[in-house]
Amino acid sequence: MLLFPFWYLIFLLSLTCHEAAHALVAYVGGDRTAYLGGQVSLNPLPHVRREPVGAILVPLLTYFYMGWTMGWASAPYDPEWEDRHPKRSAVMALAGPMANLGLLVLAFIVLRSGIVMGVWTLPESIPMDRLVVPLAENAGLLEGVGRLFSVMLTLNLVLFLFNLIPLPPLDGASVLAGFFEPARRMTDWLRGSPMGGWIGILAAWMIFPYVFFPVWNWLLARLYAG
């Protein structure tokens, strides 16, 4: 319970940036649907109001059952615009994961800089929400900052990689469909199936560990290099 505020704060920031990026790129590309819904905003409230279950209830449940936070939100778009401009739609879909990549890079730079400057060092074990520990004794603030950016790095790596898996309803499927007609037909068929989205999510969770852990280990090797 003590670390839930760290996880939820970063989750809300990451979710908001993800959906706002979708909405902004759609607006620039000619679709005003999300803009008119208030989603072109870094204010989390429009995103939470649109998906209260995914943005409030599920993060609470996943934290208390799994020890880390997951959930979802969504940005509305015009399907006719997607049909007319599939490549613009693909770029719009890619914008969300790229926002998570930006937050991941920011967290990595902060943590790596702190290690290089002697502010933090490696912990004896490496939980996902405590990638560094302060060198100074009684450094409560540095401990908190380290925790915050550890969660930011971990959670945004999860969101970035998971959303790029090319299975509906994930963003990766929309990116692929925007550039390849056969992928678009398959994506449309799965979207039209009542169980298509659940099948995609279940398959993605089965695939995800094989994607996440090699990247996670590579990233930690870069973080602790030297």
Contact 89, 175 (CB under 8 A): no
Nearest to 220 by CA among 134, 98, 130, 135: 130
The mean pLDDT value for 58-67 works out to 90
Predicted local confidence at residue 109, as pLDDT? 98
Nearest to 133 by CA among 151, 152, 114: 114
Q: What is the tally of helices (H) and strands (E) in the chain? A: 11, 2
**Average per-residue pLDDT in the chain?**
92
- Could you report the per-residue pLDDT of 99-108, keeping only the tens digit for each? 999 999 999 9
Predicted local confidence at residue 1, as pLDDT? 59
Domain positions in the chain are: 4-223
- Could you report the per-residue pLDDT of 194-212, keeping only the tens digit for each? 676 788 888 999 999 999 9
pLDDT band at 225 (very low <50, low <70, confident <90, very high): very high
Residue 216 has pLDDT above 70, yes or no: yes
Residue 73 has pLDDT above 80, yes or no: yes
Say which amino acid occupies 101: L
pTM (2 d.p.): 0.93
- Could you report the per-residue pLDDT of 5-31, keeping only the tens digit for each? 889 999 999 999 999 999 999 999 999
